[in-house]
């Protein structure tokens, strides 16, 4: 009985030391993975702090820091997160961060108010009216520019998506893995889709699963076709469907949608050029064709 007790105690001590050893090995590894993912988020500027308290960490002058804090107080609670999402949609241009956008909103508030007041300085009422309008325009101008940049980038992504899927399909059917195919796209192509593929590959290399990286990609886009592709890939990964088969079907469907979109734009063209023709082209044609005749008739009846 004592031998059995001694064996159980020895086994318990071995298990305890094993758990301690695994925690010592996996703890730093998990921390390194988390730190790596955090570095990717910081590199792409997708941090979404709830306030601008950390604005000094991005090298902003003190005045802009205070203006950013003022803009954050004047904005609703969810505005920093919304700005972070729009930055992701715009591809995080340059070194823009949520703090910088808020700082420029505050700067635009005072600059617009000063410019409006200067324009309306001839009248006391006009000073307040133009000053208020200028402050509103300056405050919302960074949001408009950011939204415009995001819309343009998403349009480019929609245009590049069929070619990207074709290249993914060719690489996977040639024997490459999905990660290697993403690497080939990032190495041999340019544009927003290549940048998104590189970012997704970096996230997977630093510890994220393929499903998590795909869902993060879907959160960074508003392109319906790309979100549908991500959904199909996630379902294929969870159900064990071969990746090459899913890519082949998705690429074929994407080509069909791209062709339908081109046909739709072609059908809209006559309606779009109708009003320019009526108000710009037809009057000029009438003047050129009927002008000499009208002048001859006026000269005849006037004489």
- Of 122, 121, 120, 115, the C-alpha closest to 141 is 115
**Digit-coded pLDDT (tens) for 25-78:** 444 444 554 555 555 555 555 444 333 334 344 456 777 787 788 888 888 888
Range 118-128 average pLDDT: 78
- pLDDT-derived band of residue 23, with 50, 70 and 90 as boundaries? very low
CA–CA dist 115, 127 (Å, integer): 10
- pLDDT-derived band of residue 2, with 50, 70 and 90 as boundaries? low
pLDDT at 12: 52
239 pLDDT exceeds 70? yes
Tell me the three-class secondary structure of the chain, residue by residue: CHHHHHHHHHHHHHHHHHHHHHHHHHHHHHHHHHHHHHHHHHHCCCCCCCCCHHHHHHCCCHHHHHHHHHHHHHCCCCHHHHHHHHHHHCCCCCCCCHHHHHHHHHHHHHHHHHHHHHHCCCCHHHHHHHHHHHHHHHHHHHHHHHHHHHHHHHHHHHHHHHHHHHHHHHHHHCCCCHHHHHHHHHHHCCCHHHHHHHHHHHHHHCCCCHHHHHHHHHHCCCCHHHHHHHHHHHHHHHHCCCHHHHHHHHHHHHHHHHHHHHHHHHHHHHHHHHHHHHHHHHHHHHHHHHHHHHHHHHHHHHC
User: Residues of the chain with pLDDT > 70: what percent?
Assistant: 80
User: Residues of the chain with pLDDT > 90: what percent?
Assistant: 4
**Digit-coded pLDDT (tens) for 84-104:** 888 888 888 777 888 888 888
pLDDT at 41: 56
pLDDT at 25: 45
Total-model pTM: 0.69
5 pLDDT exceeds 70? no
How many C-beta neighbours within 10 Å does residue 51 have?
14
Range 200-207 average pLDDT: 86
Range 199-227 average pLDDT: 88
Task: Report all structural domains of the chain as residue ranges with CATH numbers, in order of start.
Answer: 58-152 (no CATH), 156-259 (1.20.81)
**Digit-coded pLDDT (tens) for 137-190:** 888 998 999 999 999 999 999 888 888 888 888 888 888 888 888 888 888 888
């Amino acid at each position: 009985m004592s031998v059995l007790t001694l064996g159980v105690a020895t086994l318990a001590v071995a298990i305890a030391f094993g758990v301690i050893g695994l925690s010592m090995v996996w703890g730093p590894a998990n921390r390194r993975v988390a730190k790596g993912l955090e570095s990717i988020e910081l590199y792409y500027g997708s941090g979404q702090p709830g306030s601008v308290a950390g604005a000094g960490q991005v090298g902003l002058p003190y005045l802009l820091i205070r203006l950013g804090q003022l803009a954050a107080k004047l904005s609703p609670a969810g505005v920093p997160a919304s700005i972070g999402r729009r930055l992701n949609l715009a591809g995080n241009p340059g070194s823009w961060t949520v703090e910088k956008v808020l700082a420029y909103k505050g700067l635009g508030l005072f600059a617009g108010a000063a410019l409006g007041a200067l324009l309306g300085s001839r009248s006391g009422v006009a000073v307040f009216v133009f000053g208020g309008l200028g402050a509103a325009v300056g405050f919302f101008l960074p949001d408009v520019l950011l939204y415009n940049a995001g819309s343009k980038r998403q349009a480019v992504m929609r245009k590049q998506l069929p070619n990207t899927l074709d290249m993914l399909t060719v690489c996977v059917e040639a024997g490459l893995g999905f990660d290697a195919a993403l690497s080939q796209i990032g190495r041999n192509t340019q544009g927003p889709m290549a940048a998104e593929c590189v970012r997704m590959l970096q996230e997977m290399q630093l510890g994220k699963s393929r499903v998590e990286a795909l869902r993060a990609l879907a959160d960074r886009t508003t392109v319906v076709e790309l979100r549908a592709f991500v959904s199909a890939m996630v379902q294929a990964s969870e159900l064990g469907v071969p990746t090459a088969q899913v890519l082949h079907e998705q690429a074929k469907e994407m080509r069909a949608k791209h062709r339908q979109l081109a046909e739709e734009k072609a059908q809209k063209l006559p309606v779009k050029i109708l009003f320019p023709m009526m108000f710009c082209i037809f009057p000029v044609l009438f003047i050129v064709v009927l002008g000499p005749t009208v002048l001859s008739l006026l000269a005849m009846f006037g004489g």
